[in-house]
Amino acid sequence: MLLDRDGTLVEDVPYNGDPEKVRPVPGAREALDRLRAAGLRLAVVTNQSGLARGYFTAHDLRRVNARVEELLGPFDDWQICPHAESDRCACRKPAPGMVHAAARALGTTASRCVLIGDIGADMAAAAAAGAAAVMVPTPATRDAEVAAAPTVAADLPDAVDTVLARMRLVAAPDTARRPGRGTVLVVRSDAAGDVLVTGPGIRAVAAGAERVVLLCGPRGRAAADLLPGVDEVVECPLPWIDAPAPPVDPDDMRALTDRLAAVRADEAVVFTSFHQSPLPLALLLRLAGVPRISAISDDYPGALLDVRHRVPVGVPEPERALSLAAAAGYPLPADDDPGLRLRTDRLPPAPAAAGSPGYVVLHPGSSVETRACPVELATRMVRVLGAAGLRVVVTGGPDERELTARVAAAGGVDLGGRTGLDELAAVIARAGALVVGNTGPAHLAAALGVPVVSLFAPTVPFGQWGPYRVPTVRLGDAAAPCRDTRATTCPVPGHPCLSAVEPGRVLEALRLLGVGG
Residues of the chain with pLDDT > 90, as a percent, come to: 91
Per-residue pLDDT averaged across 394-416, rounded? 96
CA 179 to chain centre: 28
Q: How confident is the model at residue 181 (pLDDT cuts 50, 70, 90)?
A: confident
Phi-psi region of 199 (alpha: psi -120 to 50; beta: other; left: phi over 0): alpha
How far is 160 from 34, CA to CA, in rounded Å?
A: 8
Of 190, 183, 189, the C-alpha closest to 208 is 183
- Give yes or no for a contact between 469 and 446, defined as CB atoms under 8 angstroms apart: yes
Neighbours of 367 (CB within 10 A): 17
Which residues 6+ apart lie within 8 Å of 352 measured at CB? none
Residue tagged active-site, from 4, 122, 190, 414: 4
Q: Is the dihedral angle over the CA atoms 191, 192, 196, 199 positive or is it negative?
A: positive
Per-residue pLDDT averaged across 17-39, rounded? 98
Neighbours of 349 (CB within 10 A): 9
Looking at 3.40.50.720, 3.40.50.11720, 3.40.50.2000, 1.10.10.10, the CATH number of the domain 344-513 comes to 3.40.50.2000
- Give yes or no for a contact between 119 and 145, defined as CB atoms under 8 angstroms apart: yes
Q: How confident is the model at residue 176 (pLDDT cuts 50, 70, 90)?
A: low
**pLDDT tens digits for 413-455?**
999 999 999 999 999 999 999 999 999 999 999 999 999 999 9
493: amino acid identity, one letter: P
Q: How confident is the model at residue 494 (pLDDT cuts 50, 70, 90)?
A: confident
Kindly tell me if the per-residue pLDDT of 369 is higher than 60: yes
At residue 333, the pLDDT reads 93
Burial class of residue 77, CB neighbours in 10 A (0-12, 13-18, 19+): middle
Secondary structure (H, E, C), 111-163: HHCEEEECCHHHHHHHHHHCCEEEECCCCCCCHHHHHHCCCECCCHHHHHHHH
DSSP character at residue 401? H
How far is 73 from 311, CA to CA, in rounded Å?
A: 33
Helix (H) or strand (E) segment spanning residue 293: strand 293-296
How far is 440 from 490, CA to CA, in rounded Å?
A: 19
**pLDDT tens digits for 44-102?**
999 999 999 999 999 999 999 999 999 999 999 999 999 999 999 999 999 999 999 99
**C-alpha neighbours within 13 Å on the C-beta side of residue 76:** 19
Of 209, 188, 145, the C-alpha closest to 281 is 188
Residue tagged active-site, from 6, 190, 194, 225: 6
Pairing of strands 307-309, 267-270: unpaired
- Whether the model pTM is above 0.85: yes
Which residues 6+ apart lie within 8 Å of 292 measured at CB? 266, 267, 268, 306, 307
How far is 410 from 306, CA to CA, in rounded Å?
A: 56
The domain made up of 181-328 has a fold known as Rossmann fold (3.40.50)
Per-residue pLDDT averaged across 117-144, rounded? 97
484 is catalytic: no
322: amino acid identity, one letter: L
Name beta bridge partners: 295.
Answer: 270, 308
Range 259-271 burial, b when 16+ CB lie within 10 A, else e: ebeebebbbbbbb
How far is 185 from 114, CA to CA, in rounded Å?
A: 33
Kindly tell me if the per-residue pLDDT of 175 is higher than 90: no
Q: Do domains 181-328 and 344-513 have the same CATH topology?
A: yes
Domain spanning 2-170: which CATH class is it, in words? alpha beta
Q: How confident is the model at residue 245 (pLDDT cuts 50, 70, 90)?
A: confident
Q: How confident is the model at residue 244 (pLDDT cuts 50, 70, 90)?
A: confident
- Give yes or no for a contact between 289 and 261, defined as CB atoms under 8 angstroms apart: yes
Kindly tell me if the per-residue pLDDT of 367 is higher than 90: no
How far is 234 from 216, CA to CA, in rounded Å?
A: 6
Kindly tell me if the per-residue pLDDT of 268 is higher than 60: yes
At residue 178, the pLDDT reads 56
Of 237, 253, 224, 430, the C-alpha closest to 342 is 224
189: amino acid identity, one letter: S
Kindly tell me if the per-residue pLDDT of 340 is higher than 70: yes
**Lowest-pLDDT choice from 4-8, 210-214, 237-241:** 237-241
Which residues 6+ apart lie within 8 Å of 329 measured at CB? 173, 175, 176, 177, 181, 208
- Give yes or no for a contact between 371 and 439, defined as CB atoms under 8 angstroms apart: yes
Kindly list the domain boundaries of the chain, sorted by start residue. Answer: 2-170, 181-328, 344-513
143 is catalytic: no
Per-residue pLDDT averaged across 334-340, rounded? 93
Of 230, 470, 441, the C-alpha closest to 346 is 230
